[in-house]
Amino acid sequence: MSDKAPGWIAAPGTPLLGELTVPGDKSVSHRAVMLAALADGTSRIDGFLEGEDTRATAAIFARLGVHIEAPEPSVRLVHGVGVDGLQPPDGPLDCGNAGTGMRLLAGVLAGQAFDSVLVGDESLSRRPMRRVIDPLERMGAHIDSEGGLPPLHIHGGSMLQGIDYALPVASAQVKSAILLAGLRARGTTCVHEPHPTRDYTERMLQAFGWPIDFVPGMARITGGHRLLPTDVVVPSDFSSAAFFLVAATLVPGSELVLRRVGMNPRRTGLLHVLRAMGADIVEEHAGEQGGEPVADLRVRHAPLHGIEVPVEHVPDMIDEFPAMFVAAACASGTTTVHGAAELRVKESDRIDAMARGLRALGITVDEAPDGACIQGGQLRGGGIDSRGDHRIAMAFAVAGQRAASEVRIGDVANVTTSFPGFDTLAREAGFGLRVA
Ligand code: S3P
């Protein structure tokens, strides 16, 4: 835990009541900027996430010669330059903390005429990039890395060729990198997934007018088309809503409505799992926003019981495990998770970070290489190292709402990567949460 980085003190507040809207979806915001930048003309993005990750992506496209205006918060006007219009950058491109930014950009940059270098912060510099380098090199790209880790030196001037690629791990980032490289490749690029993952790249390519075939688990495109400027309305991020879904479930007397939450089925695995544990979450006013399903989610306090998390839901809730581990810690009985080894290579090793953190609060957790077994119990107070991981910090802010005394969370600065304003919104809803 760093002395300098700001931290939080979380402790029970009041029941969580009222209505709130969480910020725009991170995955959709990244992709919207990328496709708008590569389109032939101006696209407007509403609901853009003003998080550090997505702002880093927008800043990178500005460095690549794309004029991007921010007429008001959460709005971007992107003056696209076309799939062949990016300009050489004047130095390394900083993706910050964003794995999505770096991996998708590797796909965009692999087929360009110029060289580029992608760098990231300390956490991103430890994250595996071989998973994108390998398929992109099979397409003809030349990418140097530090033994499979960032920085990525992408050599320009390679003519890419479409491939037929079976992903070894279910990853929307890798799938998307390959599809984005496929825009500038000769012939057809086809990606098969071991389990279907979020399909925003596919849906958005279609919305921007690029011909694409896709079904859950497979996507196929052909190079040589153009992207038409298209306005995008970004739904609220289910992964940000997840912290409030769990918190309102856990705090007695709560009834909270989360407005216009993105309900893409590849994102909502946590809903199935929380309901199987006994949660009371009702979808209201289901509709569509910018081609994505959205709904208001009404969540009321309910006692939870432990379950075995069905493996088929794992990819659909991959970012929600920190919140789910807290739900499991407060449930009666045992919750087991398997098939989630990917959690070890997120912004931190999330299995280890959650297991150690929950143990520090008196909960029994046995780790497995691909999951954990959590015995529900009474949380006590204690000190937590968030490891600079936004979702670990927010998960323990939720844990504090059910702890017997204060939970001190160190190093919460990176919460702004995905959820700027989380602590203010949480306090407004009823959280006991203050900056330490
Ligand atoms: C994302 C895909 C997931 C997810 C990440 C965002 C995306 O990563 O964890 O937060 O926007 O494509 P993987 O592709 O590594 O599973």
Question: DSSP letters of 114-147?
Answer: S-EEEE--TTGGGS--HHHHHHHHHTT-EEEEET
Identify whether the C-beta of residue 345 lies closer than 8 Å to the C-beta of residue 103.
no
Distance from the alpha carbon of residue 171 to the mean position of ligand 1, in angstroms: 6
Please work out whether the CB of residue 237 comes within 6 Å of at least one atom of ligand 1.
Answer: no
Which atom of ligand 1 lies closest to the CA of 27? 11
Identify whether the C-beta of residue 239 lies closer than 8 Å to the C-beta of residue 418.
yes
Which atom of ligand 1 lies closest to the CA of 30? 11
> What's the average model confidence in pLDDT over 33-43?
98
Task: State yes or no: pLDDT of 5 exceeds 90.
Answer: no
Please work out whether the CB of residue 318 comes within 6 Å of at least one atom of ligand 1.
Answer: yes
Write down the H helix ranges in 216-345. 238-250, 269-276, 321-329
Predicted confidence at residue 183, as pLDDT, reads: 98
Which atom of ligand 1 lies closest to the CA of 170? 16
Please work out whether the CB of residue 173 comes within 6 Å of at least one atom of ligand 1.
Answer: yes
Q: Which of 126, 171, 175 to mutate to test the pocket of ligand 1 (most atoms within 8 A of CB)?
A: 171
Task: State yes or no: pLDDT of 318 exceeds 90.
Answer: yes
Please work out whether the CB of residue 319 comes within 6 Å of at least one atom of ligand 1.
Answer: yes
Q: How many residues does the chain have?
A: 436
**Protein residue with its CA nearest to atom 16 in ligand 1:** 171
Please work out whether the CB of residue 27 comes within 6 Å of at least one atom of ligand 1.
Answer: yes
Predicted confidence at residue 290, as pLDDT, reads: 80
> Hey, CA dihedral for 183, 202, 217, 337, is it positive or negative?
positive
Identify whether the C-beta of residue 295 lies closer than 8 Å to the C-beta of residue 287.
yes
CB atoms within 10 A of CB 338: 16
Question: Cα 223 vs. chain centroid, distance in angstroms?
Answer: 27
Task: State yes or no: pLDDT of 145 exceeds 90.
Answer: yes
Give 156-197 pLDDT, tens digit per residue. Answer: 999 999 999 999 999 999 999 999 999 999 999 999 999 999
Give 330-388 pLDDT, tens digit per residue. Answer: 999 999 999 999 999 999 999 999 999 999 999 999 999 999 999 999 999 999 999 99
Positions marked catalytic: 319
Give 216-264 pLDDT, tens digit per residue. Answer: 999 999 999 999 999 999 999 999 999 999 999 999 999 999 999 999 9
pLDDT band, residue 1 (cuts 50/70/90): very low
Q: Is pTM, for the whole model, over 0.95?
A: yes
Please work out whether the CB of residue 198 comes within 6 Å of at least one atom of ligand 1.
Answer: yes
Which atom of ligand 1 lies closest to the CA of 239? 10
Q: What percentage of the chain carries pLDDT values higher than 90?
A: 98
Residue with tokens 């991959």: 318
